[in-house]
Amino acid sequence: MTDISADAVAKTQDPANAKQYKVYGYRWVVLATFMLINLSIQLLWITYAPITNPAASYYHVSELYIGALSMSFMVAFIPLSIPVSWIIDTFGFRLAASIGAVLMGVFALARGFAGANFTFVFLSTIGIGIAQPFLLNTWTTLAAKWFSIDERATAVGLITVANLIGAAVGMVVTPILIQSMSIAQVQFIYGAVSAATSVLFLIFAREKPATPPCPPGHDVRALMWDGLKHALQIKPFMLFMVVAFIALGLFNGLSTWIQVIIQPRGFTPEDAGIVGAVFLVSGILGAGIMPIFSDKHRKRQRYLFISIIGSAPGMLGLTFATTLPVLLISAFVLGFFLISTFPIGMQYAAEITYPTPEGTSNGLIQLFGQASVVFVLIMQLVSVNGSFTPAMFMSIGLLVVCIAVISQLKDAKPVDLQPAVVSANTENAV
């Protein structure tokens, strides 16, 4: 891991420099508007998961085509992640996120106007999927530009919470809405909401505060390509990308196929929506709680380990539960622990690869995670007579692999535990 220069360290230890960096109250406005557009894109992504069978009938296509709507997000992400990371690191998080917000708003409305034409729905969904890396790859960049080191995992955790709220709303609300309106009308409503959140972000988001939230020298990052080469030479980072691939693969697979996973055991689409919502709501709690403890103790590896081990009982329950209460408890446990690995892990990646730009490390992690689209497809391919039990056994085995990999990780050395950051809640942020 590359250390910051001796001159930078000396500057941070100079009391005169302690007043040169601050955190601003406006950071919460920027974070809130960013959370809204992330919430929206997850709502758009998850829409069809709890209504796979009704959607297949509505569009006159197979269940695999409906699953492909969700998978298209991950397919689009793979070639775009590195170029988008370059845009983020070169032109800033606000421009990149604004591009994503505009793409999302336009294509979400287009999907609403597509009606029952599956071809237009699919093309519009691809457009929304193209917007996704512009939003997902900027998480840690926003945190680094606006938040102190002791708040960054928490900030990323809150963005994760927003994503999960969007997915939870889609899981619960979509099956309810299609009972009184068409799927196309539901898509139009979601498109209008997404366009509105995009406008809010464009109005209120700012690139950075007037002064950095960290000691002088610690806001400097390597150039994107130099940072990329540096990150790929760090063994703990490469190991964590394996964890990201598996964890996001499990999350995306369970979210995409939740209805058909539990349907053979006699559960309805409404049950699937409830189970999916519990999975995501508990994830909201995990993503909001676990990073706070990780920040407080400045430990990443320990909490990654706790999260993956805690996921195993939930995965077992989701595989075998035959009653709704047991299924809901299992979904709660799995969501709380599995989803909490994401914000902690992304902050771990940003710290272990310093001075690689946050957009680059975040982009690589998201790239590996979205490449798990192959896992989503494999889950469907290994199903036997409609049963996803073989896929669930495979998932349990992959959790064991994650435990083994995380045991080999080490926390990064702290780079900016220096003078306390001055709060500037009442000062101008820009």
Domain contains 197: yes
- CA–CA dist 204, 394 (Å, integer): 45
pTM over 0.75: no
In terms of residues, how long is the chain? Answer: 430
Give pLDDT tens digits along the chain (430 positions): 334 334 444 444 444 444 566 778 899 999 999 999 999 999 998 888 788 888 999 999 988 888 889 888 878 887 888 888 889 878 888 999 999 999 999 999 999 999 999 999 999 999 999 999 999 888 878 888 888 877 877 888 788 788 878 887 887 889 889 999 999 999 999 999 999 999 999 999 999 887 777 665 555 454 456 666 777 778 888 888 888 888 888 887 887 787 778 888 888 877 887 888 888 788 888 888 888 888 888 788 888 989 999 998 998 888 888 889 999 999 999 999 998 888 888 778 878 887 777 667 767 777 776 666 677 777 777 776 666 778 888 888 888 999 899 988 887 765 544 343 444 443 444 4
Domain contains 338: yes
Range of the domain at 317: 14-415
Task: List residues bridging with 384 in a β-sheet.
Answer: 387
Which residue do the tokens 């946050």 mark?
358
DSSP string of 289-330, one letter each residue: HHHHHHHHHT-SHHHHHHHHHHHHHHHHHHHH--SHHHHHHH
Domain contains 352: yes
Domain contains 133: yes
Domain contains 422: no
Q: What is the C-alpha end-to-end distance of the chain, expressed in Å?
A: 33
Q: What is the CATH number of the domain that holds 162?
A: 1.20.1250.20
Domain contains 184: yes
Domain contains 427: no
Which residue do the tokens 């000062």 mark?
427
CB 51 within 8 A of CB 178: yes
Domain contains 2: no
Q: Which residues contact 223 (CB under 8 A, 6 or more apart)?
A: 89, 357
How many domains is the chain partitioned into structurally?
A: 1
Give CA torsion, residues 327, 372, 302, 294, to 10 deg: -90
